[in-house]
Amino acid sequence: MSTHDVFVQQFARLFHHYQETLSSEAEHSDSWNSLPAEERNRMITAARLAILELESNSQAHARRFYAKPGEAEWGC
């Protein structure tokens, strides 16, 4: 398992924890380890997609401010 996979699983576990903590008492579900494997996998996949979207948005945002090589306008 790669470090990225471990990160995604930890992110999903933390997301579940805080979702459970912030929900009302009546909505509390089981702990992460007692969730069905299918539900854990769904949350891990959702975490992976969210992280990929955040990474792609930050990269697109960073690239927007830099000119391509040879295209910079120099005003002196």
In a domain, 73, yes or no: no
Q: How many domains does the chain have?
A: 1
Q: pTM above 0.95?
A: no
Q: Which spans in the chain are helix H?
A: 3-22, 37-64
Under a CB-based contact definition with an 8 Å cutoff, are residues 44 and 8 in contact? yes
Q: Spell out the per-residue pLDDT of the chain, length 76, in tens.
A: 888 888 888 888 888 888 777 776 555 566 888 888 998 888 888 888 888 888 887 666 555 566 677 776 765 5
31 is a domain residue? no
The reply to whether 26 falls in a domain is no
Q: Evaluate whether residue 76 is within a structural domain.
A: no
Residue 45 lies in domain: 3-18+36-64
Residue 55 lies in a domain: yes
Q: How many other CB atoms are there within 10 angstroms of residue 19's CB atom? A: 13
Is residue 8, in this structure, part of any structural domain at all?
yes
